[in-house]
């Protein structure tokens, strides 16, 4: 069976891949998979023990705060010294945000600066050179299902990931009209994944491992899929589709915002999901 990595020209041996948030979780799993196929992998993350540990595998790993454009520009310059970047994975993120829509303004800014501006900074630093070459390349932005269905509890995170979704959709549309569509954008939407952000000391039975997400992602890239909607051990594709459709119908049917979690709609939602 042909490896999915082998049939997408951007994921070729000798080419350069850049991954932010690459010192752990999905980013590290992607870095290892790309290195195994022969790509030159350049990872960036915040300074600390995790980054120091992965420098044994990736000696050129760079300290970078994606919220700072100057740091991302430095990352782009360093990666360019290795060769042409054909894979950019804007993956750095945090869920440490405000839990109220009208409190903790500093936490709001800090989270949005990383999760949303980190993606925008990455595209601005890398995309012009990728486009100018006119060769196949991919930009992968890590989103979240919470940016689509907006569950209560972490509004800053939800907003940031909704912004990543909207930004990546627009980016993908714009890229189709330049460089003969050689550069494509893709939205990674992981399911429940066992990483530091899962805040679990042991892997929950319902969670996927980061390596599973990466294999699913590369198989989707091989098909040029834009929305890379990952299941997990608990939530199937069918369940995701139903939840997303319910959220969309809040607008169409003029239901209360986030009616899925509205007490008056609890029975209707449960019946809808079981039908």
Among all residues, which ones are annotated catalytic?
157
Torsion angles phi and psi, residue 150, rounded to 5: 55, 55
Torsion angles phi and psi, residue 187, rounded to 5: -105, 110
Confirm if 86 and 15 have CB atoms less than 8 A apart. yes
Residue for token digits 């459709």?
245
Confirm if 234 and 220 have CB atoms less than 8 A apart. no
Confirm if 53 and 23 have CB atoms less than 8 A apart. yes
- CB atoms near residue 40 (< 10 Å): 19
Distance, CA of 209 to CA of 230 (rounded, Å): 12
Residue 62, beta-bridge partner list: 44
Distance, CA of 250 to CA of 252 (rounded, Å): 6
Residue 249, CA atoms < 13 Å, CB-side half-sphere: 11
Extract the runs of DSSP E, i.e. beta strands, from 110-180. Answer: 137-142
Question: DSSP assignment of 110-149, as one string?
Answer: HHHHHHTHHHHHHHHHHHHHHHHHTS-EEEEEE--THHHH
Residue for token digits 């569950």?
151
């Amino acid at each position: 069976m042909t490896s999915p990595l082998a049939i997408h020209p951007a994921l070729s041996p000798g080419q350069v891949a850049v991954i932010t948030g690459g010192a752990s979780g999905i980013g590290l799993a992607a870095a290892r998979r790309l290195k195994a196929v022969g790509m030159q992998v350049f990872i960036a993350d915040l300074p600390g023990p995790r980054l120091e540990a992965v420098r044994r595998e990736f000696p050129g790993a760079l300290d970078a705060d994606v919220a700072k454009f100057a740091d991302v520009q430095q990352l782009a310059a360093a990666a360019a010294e290795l060769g042409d970047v054909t894979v950019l994975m804007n993956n750095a993120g945090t869920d440490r945000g405000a839990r109220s829509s009208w409190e903790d303004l500093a936490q709001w800014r800090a989270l949005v600066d990383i999760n949303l501006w980190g993606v925008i900074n990455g595209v601005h630093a890398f995309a012009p050179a990728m486009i100018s070459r006119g060769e196949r390349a991919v930009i992968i932005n890590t989103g979240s299902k919470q940016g689509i269905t907006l569950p209560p509890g972490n509004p800053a995170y939800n907003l940031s990931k909704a912004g990543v979704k909207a930004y990546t959709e627009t980016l993908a549309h714009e890229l189709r009209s330049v460089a003969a569509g050689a550069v494509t954008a893709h939205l990674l939407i992981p399911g429940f994944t066992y990483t530091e952000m899962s805040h679990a000391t042991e892997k929950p039975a319902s969670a996927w491992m980061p390596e599973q997400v990466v294999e699913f992602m590369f198989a989707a890239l091989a098909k040029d899929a834009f929305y890379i909607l990952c299941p997990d051990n608990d939530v199937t594709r069918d369940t995701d589709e139903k939840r997303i459709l319910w959220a969309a119908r809040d607008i169409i049917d003029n239901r209360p915002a986030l009616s899925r979690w509205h007490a008056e709609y609890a029975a209707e939602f449960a019946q809808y999901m079981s039908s």
